[in-house]
């Protein structure tokens, strides 16, 4: 960063606060699209060009890895070049477009608002449609509890890979860090599947995503536990942490179980359980020990708790931003 002292976290803090306040302007998206859409278009083009079903699995695996390497060189290299001449605040503004606080909050709130006035006794079709914007499940026959389960689970998972993970990679590696993370995360969502088409071609993207989310997912669970301890009480914080440590490993994903189990513990509810994808019911294990029958009110409570976690994250980042230069300065004066 040309005009910032080394080791500063200020761009990450500014990016977090800017995106939280204004998000990505819809007018700008209509005109030029969104950076993740640009990444997605390039990933789709690589998929169309290189992922040929007639090729042997080993060749498709190699081509998938080469495509990720080429995309990483293009996007990461471009971000590194921008970081060489853009001022820190411009980098923070660019980075803010790759966080998802505002859009996640709006999507979950849209689900809450779409419920009929009399809850499950009314028409839930609008709530199901709103839910389908953030989950890949068959929502067409969901009742109130199923909608609440899917919404809260998606909220918790996206708290990690849509907010905390990109923020951490921004704080650690600057603009190239958050750009490369979003590239890998987008590739995983598009090609990191286990079906016949992507089992081999998308394997590198899926494994990279697992690696990049390993620490952020667990840190998100810790933030949920700290939030529960500060806003509800020490017992709630311990319950959140214990639930994450016990149940996260039950999840099919090596990372998504951490924020989901922590949310279950914090809200004293059960998440997970059987769900339907493309007409096929998958019997996932339960996370947490509380109620399994959830309502619209539980979505609202989970969203409010999630927002408190984000304010805590911003406060911690602000403290680190202010204290890190002083710590570095004291350390340098003590050097022989």
Does pLDDT of 89 surpass 70? yes
Query: Is 244 inside a domain boundary?
Result: yes
In this prediction, residue 330 carries a pLDDT of 47
Mean pLDDT, the chain, rounded, equals: 92
Q: Which domain holds residue 138?
A: 10-330
Partners of 60 in beta bridges: none
Report yes or no on 336 lying in a domain: no
pLDDT-derived band at 5, boundaries 50, 70, 90: very low
Q: CA–CA separation, 15 vs 92, rounded Å?
A: 5
Distances (CA, A) of 262 to 159, 203, 222, 268: 12, 28, 8, 10
Q: What is the pLDDT of residue 323?
A: 85
C-alpha 119, offset from chain centre: 29
Q: Domain for residue 3, yes or no?
A: no
pLDDT tens profile 174-231: 999 999 999 999 999 999 999 999 999 999 999 999 999 999 999 999 999 999 999 9
In a domain, 335, yes or no: no
pLDDT digits (tens, 9 = 90+) for 148-169: 999 999 999 999 999 999 999 9
pLDDT for res 274 = 77
Confidence of residue 65 (pLDDT cuts 50, 70, 90): very high
If one counts the domains in the chain, the total is 1
Tokens of 223: 């933030």
Examine residue 1 and state whether it is found in any structural domain, yes or no. no
Domain assignment of residue 146, yes or no:
yes
Task: Pick the closest to residue 203 from 104, 330, 66 (CA basis).
Answer: 66
The string over 140-168, giving b where at least 16 C-beta atoms fall within 10 Å of a residue's C-beta and e elsewhere, is: eebebbbbbbbbbbbbbbbbbbbbbbbbb
- Tell me the pLDDT band of 4, cut-offs 50, 70 and 90: low
d(CA 333, CA 269): 51
Kindly state whether residue 160 falls inside one of the protein's structural domains. yes
DSSP 148-193: HHHHHHHHHHHIIIIIIHHHHHHHHHHHHHHHHHHHHHHHHHHH--
Confidence of residue 136 (pLDDT cuts 50, 70, 90): confident
Q: Is there a domain that residue 93 lies in? A: yes
pTM: 0.92
In terms of Cα–Cα distance, which of 188, 99, 115, 118 is closest to 151? 115
pLDDT attached to residue 283? 78
> 196: how many CB neighbours lie within 10 A of its CB?
8
Q: Are 135 and 175 in contact (CB under 8 A)?
A: no
């Amino acid at each position: 960063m040309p005009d910032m002292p080394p080791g500063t976290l200020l761009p990450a803090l500014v990016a977090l606060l800017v995106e939280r306040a204004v998000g990505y302007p819809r007018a700008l998206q209509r005109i030029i699209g969104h950076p993740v859409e640009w990444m997605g278009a390039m990933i789709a083009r690589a998929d169309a060009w290189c992922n040929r079903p007639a090729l042997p699995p080993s060749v498709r695996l190699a081509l998938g890895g080469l495509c990720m390497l080429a995309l990483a060189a293009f996007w990461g290299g471009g971000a590194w070049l921008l970081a060489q001449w853009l001022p820190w605040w411009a980098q923070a503004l660019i980075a803010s477009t790759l966080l998802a606080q505002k859009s996640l909050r709006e999507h979950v709130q849209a689900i809450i608002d779409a419920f009929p006035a009399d809850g499950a006794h009314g028409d839930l079709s609008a709530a199901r449609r709103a839910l389908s914007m953030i989950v890949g499940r068959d929502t067409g026959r969901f009742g109130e509890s199923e909608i609440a389960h899917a919404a809260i689970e998606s909220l918790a998972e996206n708290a990690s890979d849509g907010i905390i993970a990109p923020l951490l990679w921004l704080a650690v590696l600057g603009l190239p860090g958050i750009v490369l993370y979003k590239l890998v995360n987008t590739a995983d969502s598009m090609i990191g599947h286990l079906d016949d088409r992507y089992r081999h071609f998308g394997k590198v993207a899926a494994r990279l995503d697992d690696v990049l989310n390993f620490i952020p997912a667990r840190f998100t669970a810790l933030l949920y536990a700290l939030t529960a301890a500060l806003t509800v009480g020490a017992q709630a914080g311990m319950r959140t942490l214990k639930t994450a440590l016990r149940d996260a490993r039950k999840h099919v994903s090596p990372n998504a179980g951490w924020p989901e189990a922590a949310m279950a513990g914090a809200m004293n509810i059960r998440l997970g359980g059987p769900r339907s994808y493309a007409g096929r019911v998958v019997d996932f294990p339960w996370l947490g020990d509380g109620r399994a029958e959830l309502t619209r009110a539980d979505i609202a409570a989970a969203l409010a708790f999630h927002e408190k976690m984000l304010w805590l994250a911003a406060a911690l980042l602000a403290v680190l931003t202010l204290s890190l230069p002083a710590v570095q300065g004291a350390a340098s004066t003590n050097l022989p």
